[in-house]
């Protein structure tokens, strides 16, 4: 997702340190990651606002994960266990074809520690958006403002589209969550619908599913040299049809759990251009968050326009790790809820 698109106003540059006063070090440290999700949440609540972007409620946090589904390890995953192949189409019934894109044909149905939990995955943008410019440029109400229905998203310099990336990670994430027994719904999948959905409809899908957690997957389109991931949290918005006050605290806990686990599993650093090194940004200009009535966050997995990040984002083995990091964050959040 580019910050010049309809879901974002251009972020303000971070404030330089005062003369003679050292800049504070980032609060995410690897040593804190073993302390658990509750510690991460308490640290998040205590640190206060960061002032990123136009939102005065932007916050700092220690993004420490709760216990996930695997034994923590800093060692990279073996590329031989992953694949860069494109995902095959799932059947409408939710069954998975055998393949090496992270799907598991033997994924259990409604059994496991997350049995009874519902997760909505929102793959950012849609590969068909570029063919439906009139439809995606239509204005929709997001509570605090009106924005375009959707955008085409960004891409790497080599042409790998954000919409392809988000759908691939969403497929891998769905499989991992289903293996834990969760019921998983995608906002769109493999050309259906052929464009969108609009940002208000993406929120509505999670609301109508009564999701226990919802995650929108993205990759950024910032300047080269800007790299790293960040998780976007909903501000406590109350305007028009938007009221995130009931879900803001739970969304922060979900975001802290995902950020900590994503860092641990992927090795991708927190953003060096937003969030003050915390990997966490709070915003009030996202329709997908403003209109949500269930705990929801966005994750920008990296910057597609940076060469180092692009190498990771275009790797199937790294996308599998990205899905694992997000999954473990969701699982930890749900099991603690």
Alpha helices in the chain, H assignment, sequence order: 37-47, 133-136, 162-179, 199-208, 248-266, 287-290, 307-313, 316-336
Mean pLDDT of the chain: 78
Rounded CA-CA distance 327/84 in Å is: 19
- pLDDT for 20 equals 44
Q: Residue 70 contacts by C-beta under 8 Å, 6 or more apart in sequence?
A: 324, 328
Model confidence at 110, in pLDDT bands (50, 70, 90)?
low
Average pLDDT on 171-195 reads: 97
pLDDT given for residue 1 in this prediction? 66
> Which residue did the predictor score with more confidence, 248 or 93?
248
Q: For residue 218, give the 3-state DSSP assignment.
A: strand
Residue 89 tokens read as: 């189409």
pLDDT value at 118 more than 60: yes
Q: Does residue 44 register a pLDDT over 70?
A: no
Span 109-133, average pLDDT: 93
**Rounded mean pLDDT of 152-175?**
98
pLDDT band of 119, cuts 50, 70, 90: very high
Say whether pLDDT at 65 is over 70.
Answer: no
DSSP per-residue codes, 185-214? EES-BTTBSSS---HHHHHHHHHHTT-SEE
Q: Which of 7, 300, 324, 328 is catalytic?
A: 300
Asked whether 37 and 259 are in contact (CB, 8 A), the reply is no
Say if CB 190 and CB 89 are below 8 A apart. Answer: yes
Q: 82-91, 133-142, 211-220, 273-282: which range is least confident on average?
A: 82-91
Confidence of residue 218 (pLDDT cuts 50, 70, 90): very high
Q: Is 300 a catalytic residue?
A: yes
Greater model confidence, 3 or 168: 168
Is the pLDDT confidence value at 329 over 70? Answer: yes
Average pLDDT, stretch 138-150? 97
Q: How is residue 81 written in tokens? A: 């266990």
CA distance 229 to 10: 17
84 or 121, which is more confident: 121
The predicted-structure confidence for 279-295, as pLDDT tens digits, reads as follows 999 999 999 999 999 99
Which has the higher per-residue pLDDT, 233 or 10?
A: 233
pLDDT score of 66:
38
Residue corresponding to tokens 């997995």: 301
pLDDT digits (tens, 9 = 90+) for 234-261: 999 999 999 999 999 999 999 999 999 9
Residue 278 has pLDDT above 60, yes or no: yes
Residue 50 near residue 276 (C-beta atoms within 8 A): yes
pLDDT at 95 over 60: no
The pLDDT assigned to 111 comes to 79
Contact 172, 102 (CB under 8 A): yes
pLDDT in tens, 16-33: 444 444 443 333 333 333
pTM of the entire predicted model: 0.73
Q: Set out the domains of the chain in order of their start, with CATH numbers.
A: 40-65+109-336 (3.40.630.40)
**261 vs 81, residue with greater confidence:** 261
Predicted pLDDT at 17 = 40
Kindly tell me if the per-residue pLDDT of 99 is higher than 90. no
pLDDT of residue 276: 96
Phi, psi (rounded to 5 degrees) for 258 = -65, -45
Is residue 233 scored above 80 in pLDDT?
Answer: yes
Task: Work out the pLDDT band at 303, boundaries 50, 70, 90.
Answer: very high
């Amino acid at each position: 997702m580019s910050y010049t698109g309809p879901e974002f106003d251009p972020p303000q540059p971070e404030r330089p340190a005062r003369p003679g006063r050292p800049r504070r070090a980032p609060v995410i440290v690897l040593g804190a990651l073993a302390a658990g999700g509750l510690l991460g949440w308490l640290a998040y609540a205590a640190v206060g606002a960061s002032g990123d972007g136009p939102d005065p409620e932007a916050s700092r946090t220690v993004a420490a994960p709760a216990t996930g589904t695997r034994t923590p390890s800093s060692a990279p995953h073996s590329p031989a266990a992953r694949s860069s192949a494109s995902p095959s189409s799932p059947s409408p019934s939710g069954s998975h074809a055998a393949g090496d894109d992270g799907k598991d044909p033997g994924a259990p149905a409604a059994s496991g520690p997350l049995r009874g939990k519902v997760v909505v995955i929102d793959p950012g943008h849609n590969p068909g958006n570029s063919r439906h410019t009139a439809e995606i440029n239509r204005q929709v109400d997001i509570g605090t403002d009106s924005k375009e229905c959707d955008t085409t998203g960004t891409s790497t310099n080599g042409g790998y589209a954000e919409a392809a990336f988000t759908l691939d990670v969403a497929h891998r994430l769905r499989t991992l969550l289903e293996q834990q027994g969760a019921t998983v719904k995608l906002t769109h999948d493999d050309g259906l619908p052929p464009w969108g959905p609009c940002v208000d409809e993406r929120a509505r899908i999670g609301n109508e599913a009564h999701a226990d957690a919802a995650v929108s997957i993205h990759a950024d389109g910032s300047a080269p040299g800007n790299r790293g991931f960040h998780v976007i949290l909903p501000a406590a918005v109350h305007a028009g049809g938007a009221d995130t006050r009931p879900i803001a605290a739970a969304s922060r806990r979900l975001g802290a759990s995902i950020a900590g686990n994503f860092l641990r599993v992927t090795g991708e650093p927190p953003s060096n251009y937003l969030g003050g090194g915390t990997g966490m940004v709070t915003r009030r200009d996202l329709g997908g968050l403003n209109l949500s009535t269930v705990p929801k966050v966005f994750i920008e997995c990296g910057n597609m326009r940076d060469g180092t990040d692009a190498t990771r984002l275009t790797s199937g083995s790294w996308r599998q790790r990205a899905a694992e990091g997000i999954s473990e964050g969701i699982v930890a959040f749900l099991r603690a809820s």
